[in-house]
């Protein structure tokens, strides 16, 4: 019995559950139909590998490998595998139905995309690829036609990663024959074009090539023949993005150029590429999604805000001003602040209030230049008052300004003298009782010996009471007072 053609399959039911409604596309890996799940009563996409294919054996192995790979991927930005099996010896896959267009179709209509749209659509796909890489799966066929811009029920655009037909686990054996190159040459990494080992860095190069296509309007390499194109890609000398699109921000273009560099200079994985794109775009003033993918890029808000605590805006985009760049640890900032404060402080000795030292020309018992003269008779009490010594305790009495009250010692006269000069510390001399009672000779009066012209001392102000007579002794002084 001959097998039905692609058109003849429309209207039939696959595996007694999935009705085939419409042919969407056909390619090297089978037929793609729009269908309907009769049990779940929802739209689905059916991918079928006809049994009449001449290379059924190799394609069948790749088809089953795609099914096993898709079962590992559960991500909101990757197409969801609902079911897989075989019917009449023909393997099939059933996936969720998508509404919209591919990125290739959008680029054909618009030519180029703005950096905002490019990152808003591709950062979630990077999260899906990072999720795949964490499970040891390499896509190997990343290109605009394998990125679908799905419109969900709310009208929002949700990018979806498609086609895991060439995806391969890093730990599994390769289905590619020696010398056989698989993938799309325009978006194929140099090591993949030269039939070398592939890794997550190979998908990084392919993603950078897709970004280059979105911003510049053309892939990095082009040629008239596939062989010449593969040779140019294998050389690894991609043109600079700003040479073709000078309007692209400089820092963002530098990240794309590094993603297209050699394997040693390239970003190692998809998270490194996504982080570099986010930070460079924020520095260039390009608006970014606040949280494009919490699964594949869980630290995206922390990359931009340092603490991951930045509130989203009404449009869902995070302005570039919210990104502080490379934030220093708080402990390092505190240490630097303390060192800066110490460096700015003036290095001066501590100001200690001290009395000026006595000039070397002043004798031990010399009073200051403005010391008052002794009272009438140059008696013992007048000498004691002029020297500033308390007769009872033998301690120097402080000099009193003109407005100061009288001293507490009743044996000492009050002298209305001008404001004294800075106090000069002198040696203390104790007076005995006999010295106080014995009249002092006139030559024993203390004269100031300070250098310079001696200021005229004001006349002594006597109390209205009569001054005590010289030589009358301490009892006579007390009775007179």
The residues that are catalytic are: 141
Tokens 């001066």, residue located: 348
Q: State the residue for tokens 């990095």.
A: 220
Contact criterion met (CB below 8 Å) for 243 and 250? no
Q: Distance between CA atoms of 334 and 321, rounded to whole angstroms?
A: 24
Q: Do residues 136 and 171 lie in contact, with contact meaning Cβ atoms separated by under 8 Å?
A: yes
Query: Do 304 and 271 form a contact (C-beta atoms < 8 A)?
Result: no
Angle at 360 between CA 354 and CA 361, to 5 degrees: 130
Contact 429, 394 (CB under 8 A): yes
d(CA 162, CA 145): 8
Phi, psi of 36 (to 5 degrees): -140, 135
The neighbour count for residue 50, using CB atoms within 10 Å, is 17
Q: What is the maximum span of the chain, computed from C-alpha positions, in angstroms?
A: 160
For residues 32 and 22, the answer to whether their CB atoms sit within 8 Å is no
The two structure tokens encoding residue 246:
């000078």
> Using an 8 Å Cβ cutoff, are 101 and 110 in contact?
no
**Residue 35 φ then ψ, to 5°:** -135, -175
d(CA 200, CA 206): 10
Residue 167 structure tokens: 């995806």
What is the C-alpha separation between 139 and 203, in angstroms, rounded? Answer: 7
Residue 74, CB-side half-sphere exposure with 13 Å CA sphere: 3
Cα within 13 Å of Cα(413), Cβ side: 29
26-31 long-range Cβ contacts below 8 angstroms, 24+ apart: 28/59, 29/59, 29/62, 29/63, 29/66, 29/163, 29/165, 30/59, 30/63, 31/6
27 φ, ψ to 5°?
Answer: -155, -170
92 SS3 class: strand
- Determine the Cα angle at 470 with ends 468 and 474, to 5°: 65
Name 27's bridge partners: 30
């Amino acid at each position: 019995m001959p097998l039905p053609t692609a058109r003849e399959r429309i209207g039939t039911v696959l595996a007694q559950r999935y009705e085939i409604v419409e042919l969407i596309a056909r390619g090297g890996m089978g037929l793609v139909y729009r269908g309907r799940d009769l049990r779940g009563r929802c739209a689905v996409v059916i991918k079928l590998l006809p049994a009449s294919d001449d290379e059924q054996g190799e394609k069948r192995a790749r088809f089953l490998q795609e099914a096993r790979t898709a079962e590992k991927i559960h991500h909101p930005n990757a197409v969801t595998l609902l079911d897989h099996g075989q019917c009449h010896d023909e393997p099939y896959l059933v996936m969720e139905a998508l509404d919209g267009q591919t990125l290739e179709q959008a680029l054909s209509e618009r030519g180029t995309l703005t950096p905002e749209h490019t990152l808003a659509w591709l950062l979630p796909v990077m999260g899906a690829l990072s999720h795949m890489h964490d499970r040891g799966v390499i896509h190997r066929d990343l290109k605009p036609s394998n990125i679908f811009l799905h419109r969900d029920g709310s009208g929002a655009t949700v990018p979806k990663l498609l086609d895991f037909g060439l995806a391969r686990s890093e730990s599994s054996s390769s289905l590619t024959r020696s010398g056989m190159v698989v993938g799309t040459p325009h978006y194929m990494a140099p090591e993949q074009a030269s039939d070398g080992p592939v890794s997550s860095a190979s998908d990084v190069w392919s993603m950078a090539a897709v970004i280059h296509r979105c911003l510049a309007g053309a892939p990095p390499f082009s040629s008239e023949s596939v062989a010449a194109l593969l040779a140019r890609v294998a050389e690894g000398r991609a043109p600079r993005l700003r040479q073709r699109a000078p309007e692209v921000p400089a820092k963002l273009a530098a990240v794309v150029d590094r993603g297209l560099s050699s394997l040693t200079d390239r970003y190692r994985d998809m998270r490194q590429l996504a982080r570099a794109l986010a930070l460079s775009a924020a520095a260039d003033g390009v608006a970014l999604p606040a949280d494009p993918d919490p699964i594949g890029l869980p630290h995206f808000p922390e990359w931009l805000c340092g603490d991951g605590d930045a509130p989203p805006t009404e449009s869902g985009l995070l302005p570039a001003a919210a990104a502080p760049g490379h934030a220093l640890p708080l402990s390092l900032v505190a240490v630097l602040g303390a060192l800066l404060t110490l460096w700015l402080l003036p290095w001066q000795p501590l100001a200690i209030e001290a009395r000026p030292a006595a000039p070397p020309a002043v004798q031990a018992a010399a009073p200051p230049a403005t010391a008052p003269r002794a009272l009438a008779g140059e008696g013992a009490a007048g000498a004691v008052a002029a020297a500033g010594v308390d007769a009872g305790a033998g301690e120097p009495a402080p000099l009193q300004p003109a407005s100061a009250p009288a001293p507490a010692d009743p044996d000492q006269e009050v002298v209305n003298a001008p404001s004294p000069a800075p106090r000069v510390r002198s040696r203390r001399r104790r007076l005995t009782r006999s010295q106080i009672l014995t009249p002092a000779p006139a030559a024993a009066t203390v004269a100031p010996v300070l250098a310079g012209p001696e200021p005229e001392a004001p006349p002594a102000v006597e109390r209205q009471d009569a001054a005590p007579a010289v030589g009358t002794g301490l009892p006579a002084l007390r009775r007179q007072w």
